[in-house]
Each structure stands twice: as structure tokens, then as C-alpha cells.
Structure 1
């Protein structure tokens, strides 16, 4: 597909946002199950959406922090295949974290923990910058041109 020939398609954008959000939470769930699930007796949505669990004062809190940051790294890889454009990486990363903020507000109230804000801003920066870097590397690849010789 040629990038200049693409028209604005809101359904494609909404589908990309939904897929990106789902992949992010799926990855976060896998990392939470591996890192936090081994430390607690019962996993719940508290670890996803309650700002109080993102703390640097406990070992479980550090596992939650690492899970969020690893999910941001994975999200930058998802951008390479889902978004495909470097100039859209910041937009989709910010959208993901804004939706996450709204879900956290609905679940547990306004996040008043400075640790929660630091972890999410770092996650946003990592996801946007690494995703942009990966997409730029793909966009700048040389286009292979096959040379055919005729043996006539």
C-alpha cells in the first residue's frame, strides 16, 4: 500500500486502537501472571487498574512496575505491525495510556500515587520512542528490485 494514497479511514483507526489496547492488556496479563501471580494468592484486576498496587515499597509492587514496563516494550513491537507509521506512534501510545487512565479512574479513583504517574509516563515514552524507532527502521529499508536478464 502506498502511504500517500491512503484516505482517512476512521473505522481503521478505531479498529487499530481496539486491537492495540487488547494486545497491551493481554501482554500485561501474561507478565502479571508470571511476575505477580507467583507472589500473591489470588490475581485480580486490582493489579491492573488500582494505582495503590504500583508501589516501590514492596517486592510485589516492583513486580507490578516491571510488568507495566515490559508491556510498554512489547507495545512498541506491536506498533511495528499494527500501526506501521512512525509519525502515528506517539498518537497511538498516548491514546492507549489515556484510555488506561480513564479505566483506572473508573476502577479505583484518581491516581494519587506519584509512582503510578512516573511508571505510566516512562511506559508512554518507551512505547512511543521505541515504536517510532522500529517503524523508522522499517520505513527506511531499501526496496529490493529484482533484476531479470533475458538470455535471448
Structure 2
């Protein structure tokens, strides 16, 4: 008799859908290069450097013995810091952050190698990629965990409104308790819980006795 397969976990197919993963990777990679292009363009204009696609895609521009190389290194680190926001918005799961961060830098290695027609041999480039991937991973995990552990408010009530409602409920309970002790014409329950009692008026003859 064939064994019955366990039904999939809710949301499992949506989380592991290949088309969705490829879409997220493509979107993050485009945003990664778009932000880097804007930062490099701004930095080159301010520094008075000549604009070239080599600043974005060539690994030969990232050298530790020239000022341009260090400037591009700082720009790429800033770009990784900005990409943490994109990871938080489009991924939002801490356990998936390392995979997407490493994928972004691996695709950058492939693009750089094809553009430069050789695998990067500059140690400064490799050190920068390791630092950038580490920064993106650790900050991305921290941001996603902070978002996952953030308390959820049900009912849409804020802190001051909730405190006001709690005080109103407590005041109403005390008022009901006071009314319970004095309700009726002399009839009620004792504060010690000893049972009900009734105040009966005394006649004149009983008073003389």
C-alpha cells in the first residue's frame, strides 16, 4: 500500500517558488548596480574624475595603491549599506539574507569577470567583496530579526489610549463595588462576606424594653 504524502506546509510553495526567487534576485541585482552607479556618478563629478563604465564593472579600478581605488571602495561599502534596506523590504526573512547577499556578490563576480575578460586577481578587490558581503549579511539579519521581533498591536490602540481605557475600567469596577455595598434600602452584603443583612426600624415599645 503506497504511503500517503504529507501535505505541504502553508506558504512553503510560495516561499520556494523558483520564479519568485529569480525575480527577487534580478530585482536586487538591478538595485545593487543602480545605487552603485548613482553613487559613483556623484563621487566622480565631485572629485572631477572622468566618467567610465570601468569604475562600475572593472575590477582593475579597485586598487589599494591609488586614491581612486580607495574612493571606489568606500562607495561600494556605502552601496552595501543601502542594499540592506532592499533586503529588508523584499526578503524580510533573516534566514534567507545570507543566501541573497552571497548571490548578489557572486553575480557581481561573474559580471566583472565577463566585462574584464579575466577573473579578478587584485587582493584589494577580493577583500572588498568579503567586507561588503559580511556587512550586508550581518546588518540584513539584524534588521530582519528586529522586524520579526517587533511587537504587534491588535485593535489599533496606542499606549496612551490603552492606559486611559485601563484606568476607566478600574474606576468603573470600584464604582460598581461601592454601589453593591450601599444598594437598596439598608440591604446589602457585608464587606467581610458574612452574608446579607437588613436594617429594620425599631418601634417605640421595643425601645422602652
State the TM-score, normalized to the length of structure 1: 0.89
Q: Deviations over 1:49-107 (max 9, x none)?
A: 21111112222111110111001101111100011110010000000000000011101
For residues 116-135 of structure 1, what are the structure 2 equivalents within 5 Å? Answer: 116-135=125-144
Partner residue of 2:17? 9
Mapped pair 1:35 → 2:43: yes
Partner residue of 2:154? 145
Question: Which whole-Å CA distance do the structure 2 matches of 1:112 and 1:35 have between them?
Answer: 25
Mapped pair 1:68 → 2:63: no
Q: Point out where structure 2 has 5 or more consecutive residues left out of the alignment.
A: 1-8, 158-164, 166-209
Aligned length: 147
State the TM-score, normalized to the length of structure 2: 0.66
Structure 1 or 2, whichever has the larger Rg, is 2
Give the Å deviation of 1:39: 3.0
Say which SS state the counterpart of residue 38 (structure 1) adopts. helix
2:121 to 112, 137, 141: 112
Say which SS state the counterpart of residue 30 (structure 2) adopts. helix
Instruction: Give the root-mean-square deviation of aligned CA atoms.
Output: 1.9
Q: Deviations over 1:126-147 (max 9, x none)?
A: 0011011100100111111117
Taking structure 1 as reference, are residues 13 and 29 closer, same or farther at Cα in structure 2, changes over 3 Å only?
Answer: same
Question: Which whole-Å CA distance do the structure 1 matches of 2:146 and 2:156 have between them?
Answer: 25
Question: Which whole-Å CA distance do the structure 2 matches of 1:4 and 1:29 have between them?
Answer: 40
Mapped pair 1:25 → 2:33: yes
Give the Å deviation of 1:41: 4.4
Higher relative contact order (CA 8 A, sep 6+): 1
Q: Point out where structure 1 has 5 or more consecutive residues left out of the alignment.
A: none
For residues 67-86 of structure 1, what are the structure 2 equivalents within 5 Å? Answer: 67-86=75-94
Contact preservation (8 Å) 1:86, 1:132: yes
